[in-house]
Structure 1
Amino acid sequence: MADASNGAHVGNGVADELPVGIKCIVFEKNAPAVGERDWSMGLHWGAPVLKSLMPDEWWPRIQSVHADPSEPLKDPDTLKFVQGDNGNTIAAFPISNFYRLRRSKLRQLLSQELDVRYEKRLANVTFAEDGKSVTAHFTDGTSATGSFLVGADGSRSTIRQCLLGPELGEIKKIPYCATFIECRYPKEQALFLRSFHSLYLATAHPDNFMGFFSTQFVEDPEDPTTWTFKFYISWQSSLEEQRATASWTDTQRLAQAKEFAKKFCDPWKSAYEWVPDNAGVWYMGMTEWDPGHEGHRWDNHDGLITIVGDAAHPMTYQRGQGLNHSLTDAGNLRDTLVKIRNGADRKQEITDFEEEMITRAGDEVRSCTLNTALLHDWEKVKNSPFYNKGMAKNH
């Protein structure tokens, strides 16, 4: 929850710091040292918002959160999009101030000086009869009451389902999936794989596959054996197929991905060929939830509660927009809470905040889902928003 007087924030999002004197408590479902899978995220047009959400002296430390802290940002850098079977460049997008940030390190940076209560998994939400407070109830039997609750509890948000019910609030599965691989390699192999781009490379394959290859973390820039790579191949997969393979083991997922990669150019071909059988494997069916869809408008109970980030607008990831929109939510909500603290009408301000978010991010959800479909249809690749706009902000 976070509010204009006292409150808290429930969730596990990164946009928690409000350096304007607004007290908050963060309730985190996981333990402090839980072994979550880590990944890197693209920060570009949302960077000024992130900077505004932290004390000035923290911003120079953003480089330490980067996938390769030793490598200064290139301005502009270029994201190459290549044809998956032969490596020919399909398009190259200039990107200014493009950060590739590690999720775990960003969370650590933004968690400083916050009151975080760990292992608090939300069960339900109730509202006081006088309309002045909201209570979060947790599965361990405890609860917390405040004057404003912010749900940032991810794409399968419990708070979203509390507000809309389990049917309307449930995440929507779409017929696409991906298997992610995380791996380190011997020196010569690591140098070869990173020679294609120091941080990232994207591909579309004529057989209707899409892929991404990235440097996840450079522990020691002088020792390639400490470099961690993360990459995936995605494909169209019916919901029936996803259900039928739901019990597959990591070994089966990896074997399937290796078979796909035999049709690919490098770095994917070699990366999958060299990956050991005990590498980290993460399979996921793709999902979305459109806040602008009919019936999806939640009740903020006269400004007592709202949802943000992936709880409000989970989107597919090929265009790299999720973090930027979530940070924009956080910046706008910060400004909204300041207005409320200064005497503005709570219900109207929270409603206005939500309407802007629903319009902006809802448009992005739909654009990203369309983009995902187009990128997995070779005949339509050149019509995709990714091809035409890269990762630029929607207007």
Structure 2
Amino acid sequence: MNGVANGNNVNGELESVLIIGSGSTGLALAQGLQKAGIKCTVFERRSEDENERDWNMGLHWGAPVLKSLMPDSWWSRIQSLQVDPHVPTKDPDTITFLQGDTGETMFELSVSLFYRLRRSKLRALLSQNLDVRYNKRLTNITYSEDGKTVTAHFEDGTNSTASILVGADGARSTTRQCLLGPELGAINHLPYAATFIQQRFTTEQALYLRSFHPLFLASAHPSNNFAFFGTHDADSTDPSSWTFFFYISWASSLEEQEATKHWSDAQRVAQQKSLAKKFCDPWKSALEWTPDDAKAWYMGLSDWDPGREGYRWENCGGRVTLVGDACHPMTYQRGQGLNHSITDAGQLRDALVKIKEGAGRKEVVTRFEDEMIKRVGAEVRESTNNTGMLHDWEKVKLSPVFTKGMKKNA
């Protein structure tokens, strides 16, 4: 870190904000700042027209915060962002966990106003009316000697200076590595893996698979596998155009992950088909009907715990901080990631408003970080623990998703 003046506590100095990353968290924060009259610019390493993988996410207890960040008239459009905009959000809805071998109901989870959102749709909405700069890959961060500004340096040789920089650049955050170095800032790989498939089926097959639940359901298997099946894209009324999103996950040592990292999609699909043979429907039939040459998306699970000793970054007088997956990537089986990330954005928006009104920058940003790290550090650890228990048949019913559901931790 060049030119760092850590001790300065500049009051009321908030001319503009740099946000690194145009994911859901960074864009939601930008909308919130713009709504509050705070100038901000978003920088994204990808090109504007680059096709990214799309997935869907659960928004539940974090929904009121997202509503507060967006322009007031936008919340009425939340239904259009759903995996199926034709199915009204239920209050409450029931999410079912099946026993993987028999298909019997193990557990029914009641969730109030559970929104299943397409990431691509959410980002398309949140990117409207913002200053987003594409093809901007962060390489370094420097700080002025007077303690007032921070500068982001990009791979193309350009730079941008503002009062505060916020890293919202995902699980493998470059901002985090700039703050902590490549070792402490590196993602933590876990001994579990999953292969995701997005697939369309015939009308008859699609209607059968959809009959299990219009949104999604989950399954734990006595062979220590966990599985997910859900709708991803049902915009059309034609069932043959619907896209389903499903996976079976398993305990996978880091050695196994390394040895198979160059597997082809065909090998990944074949592995899923083999695992599915011992599963009940919808997994068994869905994998039988999936073509051998289908596209697959393999991912070893990972996390990063901001509450771990020695992992606290220096915010350089309140001039740099992290939000969302950039500071707390977590496993996904308890559906907490988006809700915490949106909460980060809302609470940082509130903090920056205080700075704009004259509060001390370092004090306010440090207080924001203290709360966030305590809140999400506990969630990262619990989510990782939950993943382990869901892949251990003897402990499945003791896992947090069974005992707490998807409620926010106290």
TM-score computed with the length of structure 2 as normaliser: 0.95
Q: Match of 1:201? A: 217
One of 125, 136, 142 as aligned partner of 1:109: 125
Distance 2:130 2:220 in 1: 42
Distance 2:289 2:308 in 1: 44
1:52 aligns with 2:68: yes
Q: Which amino acid is 1:370 matched to?
A: N
Deviation track 1:278-309 (CA, whole Å, cap 9, x = no partner) reads: 32210000000000001100000010000100
One of 154, 178, 185 as aligned partner of 1:169: 185
Q: Helix, strand or coil: the match of 1:392?
A: coil
The CA RMSD measured in Å over matched residues stands at: 0.9
1:327 aligns with 2:342: yes
Q: Match of 2:5? A: none
1:89 aligns with 2:105: yes
Task: Show structure 1 runs of 5+ residues with no match.
Answer: none
Deviation track 1:1-57 (CA, whole Å, cap 9, x = no partner) reads: xx9322321113213212111110000111112111100000000000000000110
Cα drift, residue 321 of structure 1 = 0.4
Q: Which amino acid is 2:311 matched to?
A: H
Cα drift, residue 270 of structure 1 = 0.4
Q: Helix, strand or coil: the match of 1:150?
A: strand
Structure of greater relative contact order (alpha carbons < 8 Å, 6+ residues apart): 2
Q: Helix, strand or coil: the match of 1:149?
A: strand
Q: Match of 2:409? A: 394
Q: Match of 2:164? A: 148
Paired residues of 2:216 and 2:231 also in contact (CA < 8 A):
yes
Distance 2:24 2:327 in 1: 14
- The ranges of structure 1 where at least 4 consecutive aligned residues each deviate by more than 3 angstroms after the TM superposition are none
1:381 aligns with 2:396: yes
Distance 2:206 2:232 in 1: 12
1:4 aligns with 2:22: no
1:251 aligns with 2:261: no
Q: Which amino acid is 1:131 matched to?
A: G
Distance 1:88 1:140 in 2: 56
Cα drift, residue 325 of structure 1 = 0.2
Distance 2:102 2:61 in 1: 32
One of 92, 100, 109 as aligned partner of 1:76: 92
| Worse overlay, 337-346 or 124-133 | 124-133
Deviation track 1:229-281 (CA, whole Å, cap 9, x = no partner) reads: 00000000000000000111111111111100001000000000001133221
1:316 aligns with 2:339: no
1:349 aligns with 2:364: yes
Paired residues of 2:86 and 2:235 also in contact (CA < 8 A):
no
Q: Helix, strand or coil: the match of 1:214?
A: strand
Cα drift, residue 131 of structure 1 = 1.5
Cα drift, residue 228 of structure 1 = 0.6
One of 234, 238, 241 as aligned partner of 2:253: 238
Q: Match of 1:182? A: 198
Q: Match of 1:337? A: 352
Cα drift, residue 340 of structure 1 = 0.3
Cα drift, residue 226 of structure 1 = 1.1
Paired residues of 1:13 and 1:309 also in contact (CA < 8 A):
no
Q: Helix, strand or coil: the match of 1:378?
A: coil
Distance 1:80 1:320 in 2: 14
Distance 2:211 2:18 in 1: 46
Q: Helix, strand or coil: the match of 2:166?
A: strand
Identical aligned pairs, as a percentage? 64
Cα drift, residue 219 of structure 1 = 2.2
Cα drift, residue 129 of structure 1 = 1.5
Distance 1:11 1:249 in 2: 29
Deviation track 1:59-111 (CA, whole Å, cap 9, x = no partner) reads: 10111101101111111000101100111111001100000000000001111
Deviation track 1:189-211 (CA, whole Å, cap 9, x = no partner) reads: 00000000011000000000000
Paired residues of 1:82 and 1:202 also in contact (CA < 8 A):
yes
TM-score computed with the length of structure 1 as normaliser: 0.98
Q: Which amino acid is 1:376 matched to?
A: H
Distance 1:227 1:146 in 2: 45
Paired residues of 1:161 and 1:168 also in contact (CA < 8 A):
yes
Distance 2:328 2:216 in 1: 25
Q: Which amino acid is 1:52 matched to?
A: S
Distance 2:14 2:57 in 1: 30
| Worse overlay, 191-200 or 8-17 | 8-17
Distance 1:172 1:7 in 2: 29
Q: Match of 1:301? A: 316
